[in-house]
Structure 1
Amino acid sequence: MSQLLLNNMELTRSFFIKNVVGIDEGLVDVQPEGFNNNIHWHVGHVLTTNESLLFGFPKNTSNLPANYMELFARGTKPADWKGDVPSVSVLVTQLKDQLNRMKEIPVENLGVKLKEPFLGQETFGGLVNFALFHENLHLGHIQAMKRVIETRKNK
């Protein structure tokens, strides 16, 4: 089961990246009516959240700039962005790098119990599973936003 979870991690991230790379650059910063954020934010949010859940960002990893928490953490929004905001292409490169680091997680780490349950999960593998669920949830938002933006653009 553990190897299956790691395989799903690669499948999920590869599908996420494929879907993001295919989006017209002019659409990523459009915030359609009825949505709290834009596609750009969702890409950064998935990257930042997974870095936090799996690698302890910002305290235990320096793979992302510290300002990513201010830009992409839960409750943030593009309307409040200040300073240096990475492009989607930079974020995609970082997603690929993160996937490589995720693939290096030893299978035996998945069974490690957390000091206390977090997000309803009791093991590190549970956090990985939650991260995959979360990533797919945001992919769905991205796909819906893209469809809404393209429909309105073509009217």
Structure 2
Amino acid sequence: MDATFKIWETNRKLYLSLLENYSLEQLNKIPEGFSNNLAWNLGHIIVAQQGLVYRLSGLPTYVSDEMTNTYKNGTKPTGKTTQAEIDELKGLLFSLMEKTKEDYANGKFVTYTEYTTGTGFHLATTMEAMNFNNYHEAMHFGFMMNIRKFI
């Protein structure tokens, strides 16, 4: 488990470092040929982790339904994410990670509803979901690295 959390923490630090270099306008820009922006990718990884790890474990998430509905699979960015929303998402990068570590250490993850992701990964346990989450976040980080070249 230590490696899973270590990888996740490194991913999240990379996200924050990348985001710190762009203005709100740049974070909201959807470059030609792309379907989303930096802001949406940030929100998406946060709500995806909550869904994959918490919701499928039968636990309540720590994000609002509004946030989930804004950034879940199948949504598109509006290009109108506010600075307050960006700041909230940046804070959630680490507060939710710490909460997940705490909940894991306290044995809160007992059951899991099996799920097959859109990319074909079959998840049967919370641990598999946490490991897949690292893959998912790295994939979106790659998307963001590509987007940044065009903003």
Q: Please give the TM-score of this superposition, normalised by the length of structure 1.
A: 0.78
Question: Which one of 98, 101, 104 corresponds to residue 100 of structure 1?
Answer: 98
Residue equivalent to 1:131? 133
What is aligned with 1:152?
none
Q: Distance in 1 between matches of 2:124 and 2:53?
A: 14
Identity over aligned pairs, percent: 21
1:25-36 mapped onto 2 (5 Å cutoff) = 25-36=24-35
**C-alpha offsets along residues 122-143 of structure 1, whole Å, 9 cap, x if unaligned?**
2211100111111111111111
Write the distance in 2 (CA, Å) between the matches of 1:142 and 1:49. 16
Unmatched 5+ stretches in structure 1? 150-155
Once the two structures are superposed, the pairs formed by residues 5-154 of structure 1 within 5 Å of their partners are 5-56=4-55, 60-79=59-78, 87-106=85-104, 114-119=112-117, 120-149=122-151
Q: Is the 8 A contact 1:9 1:132 kept in 2?
A: yes
Tell me how far apart the structure 2 counterparts of residues 10 and 40 of structure 1 sit (CA, whole Å): 19
Q: RMSD between aligned alpha carbons?
A: 2.9
SS at match of 1:106: helix
Which runs of 5 or more structure 2 residues have no equivalent in the other structure? none
Distance 2:3 2:23 in 1: 33
Alignment match, 1:153: none
TM-score by length of 2: 0.80
| Structure 1 residue 117 displacement after superposition | 4.8
SS, match of residue 112 in structure 2: strand
